[in-house]
Structure formats: structure tokens, C-alpha cells
């Protein structure tokens, strides 16, 4: 039987895993993490932070007591098993409009299947993440932080279990110590209008990417010295940007896609660039001037291909009248908005994302090894 991972040494760097959102694109992160663990078998994180699909991934990794290699491969297998029927089903039109006697709520999908799946995978008892609690008590994990959006206060709320730190208050974003449950995971991964909001402590919460201006901030608040960041956003080259120009008026699908990307994917890139500039400034300062500042080592992995547009090669897993509407939207003018990739839980697409994530991490083998300070493996 494999031994549980050894808790980090007290003087070891506080490494944090930071995962962004992206719905089905989260399979890319699973593939990348699988290679990372193979390249550096002793790799460990003491801090886990995530939003949306990234929240599901970090909740899984922070809740298992197996070595990182087995934990990441188990995560990869979870994604392979996660068919659309395990995530959601389309709500009947009568239910959406409140004609079935239920209260009308603006959510296209019922995510009860995802809740059941997570309760099983995260070893929940009464909704609590018991695997996380055991890892915290054993010192294998220092903290797990999941980010949500409060629909009433319009604040970004990061829920933290673990670190003995005070709650933080920043403009429009706060940190709150709590006992994490599957509700927090579901709320973080609930994009507005698509998935239903989740009721937590007297308020309704949704996808944490909605107003998340500092996706790296939770890890920094928790004392991270080094950030291992996996984005699901493809960074287009100047040539690709130039080739995308067209004369016709933009469609509603294109406009909606731009809004979705700016909300859920683009902010992380800006935050990484800001942190890198601050690191340069700290390093340039004299020791006396920078005594209250520290540089934070950051490694960022991004898709090498446009995984949003890649989804257009795979069928959308929707049925019924609303499914027909979404498919027509995807086919109109030969353009499928890449935000629909977040809902494309097609097995072939998920498998391809895992392969791309694994290959992208392998292409940066030396950088990954250097991040953990381990000797390179064959």
C-alpha cells in the first residue's frame, strides 16, 4: 500500500497551487498536473486555491491522502469518467418559466448530478470535506481556499479552511474562515444563468470568477512563497489576432463570448503580469527599502492550442428545446462561441484536453523541475 505523503518540513517554501476556471476545460489542468507529478514525484503543495472548475480540482487534491502521483492520476480518471449526465441536465421549459408549480429561477441547467458526484469523490460527510480535514490535522495541507461571488453584496468572497489567519477585507473582495462543504465547491463552479446559485450562510453565491479582480490574491494572503498557476486561456499570437479580423458586424454569439472570456479567463493573465512587475520592483529595491516586501516565484502554464475553438470539433451534449437553441447558436454563421467549450463535456473532448495538458507540461519539464528545486528525472 502506498504511503501517505509526508508533511512538508516547517522551513519548506510555502508552495501554492492556483487553478483558474473554465468548466470542461478543467480537464486540461488534470493532464498538466499528472505530468508534473510524474516529473517531480516528491512535489507537494501546502496551499490550494481555485475558482470554478479549478475549485473542483483543488478540492479533490486537498482531500486525498495519497502521494501526488496517485492523486493527480485519480483526478485525471475522474475527468475521464465525467460525462455531461454526471454534471447537469437541461431543465424543462415549464420549470424555467415557473409553470410547473416551482419557483422560477434563471438557470438553464440542474446540477444535482454534479453535487452527487462531488459528494462521492470528495468523501463528504454531511456535506463536509472530511478528507480535507484529515489532511489539515496531519499537516499535509496548510489551507484550501475556494472563491465565490455574493449576489447580494456584489463582493468576491474567498472561503478558507486551514491557515490560522485573520479574515481579510479589500475593496469588493473579502476572505472568510469557514468549514468548507460541497456547497462552497458548487457555488464556486456555478456560472450565472447556466447553473443555479447556492445558498450559504444567509446569502446566494455563484461562480467566483464573476468579479474576481485578484485571482492570485488568496494564495498570497495565505502566505505563499511560490505559485504554480495553470490557466485554461489560450494566448493568441499577433498573427492569429490579425487573421481574426473580419468586416461583418459581430454576432451576439461573438459578443457573448467576449464577455464570458473577460469575466472567467482574462483576469488571471492580468494578475500574473502585475505580480511579475511587482517582483521586478522588489528585486530592484535595496534591502532596507524592501524589508516589508518579498518576491513571489511564479510558474504559469497555459494551453499551447486554442482549446476553446478546439471544442467546435466535438458535439454539444444538450437535448430538448433549449439544447436545440444552443446548437443553432453554435452553428450560426459557421461560428461556435468558444465559451460553449466550458459546457462541452464530451468524452473525446475531455480526453483531448487531458492529452494537451500533459504534453504542455512535458514541454516545460525543466521549468517545472526548477520550480520544485528537484533534480531532473529521465
Least confident range from 210-224, 225-239, 255-269: namely 255-269
Residue 212, pLDDT score: 81
Name which residue leads in pLDDT, 351 or 318. 351
Residue 1, pLDDT score: 41
Ramachandran class of 320: left when φ > 0, alpha when ψ lies in -120 to 50, beta otherwise: left
Distance of alpha carbon 104 from alpha carbon 95, whole angstroms:
7
Name which residue leads in pLDDT, 346 or 58. 58
pTM: 0.87
Residue 343, pLDDT score: 87
Ramachandran class of 170: left when φ > 0, alpha when ψ lies in -120 to 50, beta otherwise: beta
Among 84-88, 129-133, 162-166, which range has the highest average pLDDT?
A: 129-133
Q: How many CB atoms lie within 10 A of CB 266?
A: 15
Residue 377 pLDDT more than 50? no
Cα angle, residue 316 at apex, residues 313 and 321 outer, rounded to 5°: 145
Q: How confident is the model at residue 206 (pLDDT cuts 50, 70, 90)?
A: very high
Residue 249 pLDDT more than 90? no
Average confidence (pLDDT) over 175-194: 94
Residue 245, pLDDT score: 62
Question: How far, in whole angstroms, is CA 325 from its chain's centroid?
Answer: 28
Average confidence (pLDDT) over 88-97: 73
Residue 98, pLDDT score: 63
Distance of alpha carbon 208 from alpha carbon 190, whole angstroms:
8
Residue 342 pLDDT more than 90? no
Report residue 295: phi and psi, to 5°.
-80, 140
Among 97-101, 130-134, 339-343, which range has the highest average pLDDT?
A: 130-134
Average confidence (pLDDT) over 130-149: 95
Per-residue model confidence as pLDDT tens digits over 283-311? 677 555 555 667 788 999 999 999 988 98
Average confidence (pLDDT) over 350-360: 97
Ramachandran class of 202: left when φ > 0, alpha when ψ lies in -120 to 50, beta otherwise: left
Residue 89, pLDDT score: 83
Q: How confident is the model at residue 228 (pLDDT cuts 50, 70, 90)?
A: very high
Q: How confident is the model at residue 267 (pLDDT cuts 50, 70, 90)?
A: low
Residue 375 pLDDT more than 60? no
Per the document, the length of the chain is: 378
Residue 175 and residue 168 in contact, taking contact as beta carbons nearer than 8 Å: yes
Contacts of 166 (CB under 8 A, 6+ apart): none
Amino acid at each position: 500500500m502506498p504511503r501517505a505523503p509526508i508533511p512538508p518540513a516547517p522551513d519548506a517554501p510555502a508552495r501554492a497551487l492556483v487553478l483558474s476556471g473554465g468548466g470542461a476545460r478543467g480537464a486540461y489542468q488534470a493532464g498538466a498536473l499528472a505530468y508534473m507529478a510524474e516529473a517531480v514525484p516528491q512535489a507537494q503543495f501546502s496551499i490550494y486555491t481555485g475558482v470554478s472548475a479549478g475549485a473542483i480540482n483543488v478540492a479533490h487534491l486537498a482531500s486525498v491522502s495519497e502521494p501526488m502521483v496517485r492523486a493527480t492520476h485519480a483526478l485525471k480518471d475522474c475527468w475521464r469518467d465525467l460525462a455531461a449526465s454526471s454534471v447537469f441536465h437541461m431543465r424543462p421549459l415549464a420549470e424555467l418559466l415557473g409553470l410547473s408549480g416551482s419557483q422560477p429561477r434563471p438557470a438553464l441547467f440542474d446540477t444535482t448530478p454534479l453535487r452527487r458526484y462531488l459528494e462521492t469523490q470528495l468523501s463528504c460527510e454531511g456535506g463536509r470535506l472530511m478528507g480535507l480535514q484529515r489532511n489539515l490535522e496531519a499537516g499535509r495541507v496548510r489551507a484550501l481556499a475556494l472563491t465565490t461571488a455574493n449576489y447580494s453584496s456584489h463582493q468576491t468572497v474567498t472561503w478558507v479552511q486551514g491557515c490560522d489567519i485573520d479574515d481579510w477585507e479589500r475593496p469588493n473582495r473579502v476572505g472568510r474562515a469557514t468549514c468548507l462543504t460541497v456547497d462552497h465547491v458548487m457555488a464556486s463552479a456555478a456560472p450565472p444563468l447556466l447553473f443555479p446559485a447556492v445558498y450559504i450562510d444567509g446569502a446566494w453565491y455563484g461562480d467566483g470568477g464573476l468579479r474576481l479582480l485578484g485571482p492570485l490574491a488568496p494564495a498570497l494572503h495565505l502566505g505563499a512563497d511560490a505559485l504554480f498557476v495553470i490557466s485554461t486561456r489560450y494566448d493568441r499570437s499577433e498573427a492569429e489576432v490579425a487573421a481574426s479580423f473580419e468586416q461583418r458586424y459581430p454576432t451576439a454569439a461573438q459578443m457573448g463570448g467576449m464577455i464570458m472570456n473577460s469575466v472567467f479567463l482574462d483576469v488571471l493573465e492580468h494578475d500574473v503580469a502585475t505580480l511579475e512587475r511587482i517582483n521586478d520592483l522588489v528585486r530592484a529595491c535595496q534591502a532596507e527599502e524592501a524589508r516589508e516586501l518579498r518576491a513571489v516565484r511564479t510558474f504559469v502554464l497555459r494551453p499551447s492550442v486554442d482549446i476553446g475553438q478546439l471544442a467546435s470539433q466535438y458535439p454539444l451534449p444538450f437535448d430538448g428545446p433549449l439544447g436545440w437553441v444552443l446548437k443553432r447558436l453554435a452553428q450560426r454563421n459557421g461560428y461556435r462561441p468558444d465559451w460553449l467549450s466550458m459546457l462541452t463535456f464530451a468524452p473525446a473532448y475531455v480526453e483531448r484536453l487531458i492529452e494537451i495538458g500533459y504534453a504542455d507540461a512535458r514541454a516545460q519539464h525543466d521549468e517545472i523541475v526548477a520550480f520544485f528545486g528537484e533534480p531532473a528525472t529521465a
